[in-house]
Structure 1
Amino acid sequence: MLKHFLKITLLFTANGSSAAVSCAVDATERANREKAGRLACLLAARADCVVQMFCGIPTVLKGELPK
């Protein structure tokens, strides 16, 4: 019930962990990339708006930009 009265703005940024051409060197690095990607997906699922920035160009993946 309390969540209906509170409006919280959260900004989350992450580097593209799978966008790089190079691959992870060892199993620990691969596992960390996988965890970071899963966390980003979980946060995006709960977000009202998700925007991907690439070369300074915003692409709205979910919702719409606040006015």
Structure 2
Amino acid sequence: MKDHDTTLHVHPSSIRSASRGRREDDDLDRLNSAAEDLADLEAARTARAGIEAGEAPIPGEQVTAGLGLA
């Protein structure tokens, strides 16, 4: 008999856990943080590749306005 069953559904922006039994919140938080870091790294690599290919970078003011931070 198992202690607990856990299924993780991974999405670039979040990780959800559907589990039975005891869940380790700290481990889940670290996993979620690592997934977010990986998504950030992939986005940075894609942006850098675009710039190296001659694409114009997006101005910071446009990014902050698009995020509703301006």
TM-score (norm 2): 0.36
Structure with the higher fraction of residues in helix conformation = 2
Structure 1 or 2, whichever has the larger Rg, is 2
Structure showing greater relative contact order (alpha-carbon pairs closer than 8 Å, 6 or more residues apart) = 2
